[in-house]
Amino acid sequence: MRIALTILLLAAATLWPAELPVKTVILYKHGVGYFERAGELAKGEGARLDFKASEMNDVLKSLTVEVKGGAVSGLRYDSSEPLARKLEDLPIHLEPQQSISALLDQLKGARLEVKFATSTAAGAIISARLAPGSRDQNEREQVTLLRDNGELVTVDLAGASSIRLPDPSLQAQLSDYLTAVNQSRSREKRSVYIEATDAARRQVIASYMVPTPVWKSSYRLIFGATGEPMLEGWAIVDNTTGEDWTGVGLALVSGRPISFQSRLYEPRYIERPLAELPEERAQAPVLHQGAIAELRAEVEAKEAGPRRMAAQRLNAPAGLGGVVGGVAGLADELSVQPMRQDMASSLANTSSGKELGDLFEYRFDKPVTVRKKESVMLPFLQQKLTSRKLIIYNDTTQQNPLHSFELSNTTGKTLDGGPITVFDSGAYAGEALMDTLKQSDKRMISYGVDLGTRVTTKFGSSQTGTREVHMRRGVLQVKTAVNHTTNYTIHNVDAKPKTLVVEQAARPAFQVLSPKPSQTTANANRFEVPLAAGETKEFTVTQENIQERSYGITNLTPDFLLTLIQNKEITPAARKQLESIHAAKRKISDADNALQATERESREITQDQERIRQNIASLSRIPSQQEQVQKYANELAARETRIAALRDQLSELRTRKTALESELSTLIEKMEF
């Protein structure tokens, strides 16, 4: 018996697929990690990889398998089908809080056995229901059966010791239903099985990408009494998987390549359109009528349009947090004195770095162990670099600048973004935040407020005149310049010299005239101002703003044109053309003034004639006033003569003005400068 049992156990061990241990882990900054597993398989042995159900989409998208000494014949895995799809073909449907009688009522016609303490009731199910109770009795579940002898019997299920469906197919369907519902709630692992063609011993290497928490970095910048500062970098790694990483080769990659999810694990179903041939139908009786109406048969065709699956989500899963654990190789106890001069850590494990295209990889020199559901801090950098202390002023609403340093990345590595804790002369000095810094790049980083320096700001502006004048197709474009000044009054109250960096936001259409910036960024200009101990200094930045306006030349007054002509910035050719336009506009203005004066005189004479006519009408009835009436009549005749002359003059002036305007239009159309 023992021999037989041993043989069975050995046979089971031989057929059971082997698990491949994790050998390499590479973590990225965009929510995925690269895992490499490797192991040797015995003759006839397969390999199994276990994953979470949520990881299967990425596994199916990235899995590669290498077999040394053989070839992969296939990969199989535990499939996933939507619960609704699994249940739609089963005749049983269970709802929450559903009674046993409601379930049995769905199985009408099926054979049922109900056992009681001393008897058994069996037969085909007619119906089942929840019978209402009475005042002294609760509701009861009942089923009505058709016995083999033809009798109908109603059985009360409350006293049953067991209920059984003798039909094996119904038992299997009910079991399948419950299994499907249970699996839909399960978060257990899914397995991928690797099958190889060669039956000999062989080495199998499998690699894949799965969602992982992003690795994080933090730095310590340590300034000593003299010399270059030390930058110390630590990587925070979280192992949220269900297994230990024991002695793995660990690498951390800085950069953010594009990554997304594709629904590959869940089976997809596409509903196809329904195409039918015309169905044969029974011939209906025909009523023959006169030629007044026709009977027309209508054939209905049904079409089912395909429905697309839901859009794929492209967001990488969010990273999960962790608890910081111990670091292999560090001292068990770390005693930090408040004023310890050398703040650098004693590190046993370091990393090497290399470029991976636009990415950068930190690979640890020694194997790393991270237990499941734990996190570690691993040192990946400890190097001196070039840095100088500065103070920076970039917020005019504040009085004090910020303690800063200009960090030059001379480490030969890309520095991943993260927080920096600054230590100066053995004491904590502040904290800063740095984004990713490529090799040989520089960055200004601030870590505290400088209370020993005060800055006040005053703004001003002034018009400097016209810079450029252009005309084309009757449109005059004039560029004028406005100077804007920002005056900084800086007071260094400390008894030590400093270098202040004034950072001023770059404004569109503004150009710095003085002084020349020491640095420019995408959004700002920087100016360095050296400060002696206890010094108060005035510092002014002058910027020029060029404003451009367009005018229709026909709408400009001669006075405005004269202002442009007198500007020294325009070219002689442009001045000459503007002078000709100015002369033409002046002639038109003179003609228009003469026309308005003539029209005004004509209106005044017309009003005077009306007054004379009223006087003549009132004096004509008085005999003694005939001489005065005659005098008014002579005046009226003289004014009529003058009005006639004015009409001729108005006609000439209008003709002249029209001709001048036509000449100006012709002149404007030909001009361009």
Task: Kindly give the pairing relationship between strand 386-393 and strand 498-505.
Answer: parallel
Higher pLDDT, 171 or 36: 36
Model pLDDT, residue 239: 94
Q: Would you list the DSSP string of 368-396? A: EEE-TTEEEEEEEEEEE-EEEEEEEE--T
How far apart (Å, rounded) are the C-alpha atoms in residues 325 and 238? 9
With a pLDDT cut of 70, the percent of the chain lying above it is 80
Helices 572-619 and 626-670 cross at an angle (nearest 10°) of 160
H or E element: which one contains 646? helix 626-670
Closest to 404 in 3D by CA, of 392, 420, 417, 415? 392
Torsion of CA 413, 428, 447, 225, to 10 degrees: -70
Closest to 206 in 3D by CA, of 217, 218, 190, 192? 192
pLDDT of 88-144, one tens digit each? Answer: 667 777 777 778 888 888 888 889 899 988 888 999 989 988 888 766 677 888 899
Cα separations in angstroms, 447 against 221, 316, 403, 429: 11, 33, 6, 7
> What pLDDT band is residue 199 in, cutting at 50, 70 and 90?
low
Strands (E), 332-373: 351-356, 359-364, 368-370
> What pLDDT band is residue 160 in, cutting at 50, 70 and 90?
confident
Strands (E), 212-364: 216-223, 230-239, 245-254, 351-356, 359-364
Beta-bridge mates of residue 196: 72
Strands (E), 493-596: 498-505, 510-514, 519-520, 524-531, 536-552
The mean of the pLDDT values for the chain is 78
pLDDT of 248-297, one tens digit each? Answer: 999 999 877 788 778 777 777 677 776 665 555 544 544 434 333 333 43
Pick the most confident of 1-5, 154-158, 276-280: 154-158
Local structure of 401: helix, strand or coil: coil
b or e along 542-565 (b: 16 or more beta carbons within 10 Å of the residue's beta carbon)?
bbbbeeeeeeebeebebeebeebb
pLDDT of 510-563, one tens digit each? Answer: 889 899 999 888 888 999 999 999 999 999 999 988 877 777 777 777 777 777
Sequence-separated (6 or more) residues with CB below 8 Å from residue 151: none
Sequence-separated (6 or more) residues with CB below 8 Å from residue 573: 673
Closest to 457 in 3D by CA, of 499, 498, 504, 420? 504
How far apart (Å, rounded) are the C-alpha atoms in residues 37 and 23? 5
Q: What is the mean pLDDT of residues 596-606?
A: 84
Handedness of CA 429, 434, 437, 443 (dihedral sign): negative
Q: What is the mean pLDDT of residues 315-325?
A: 33
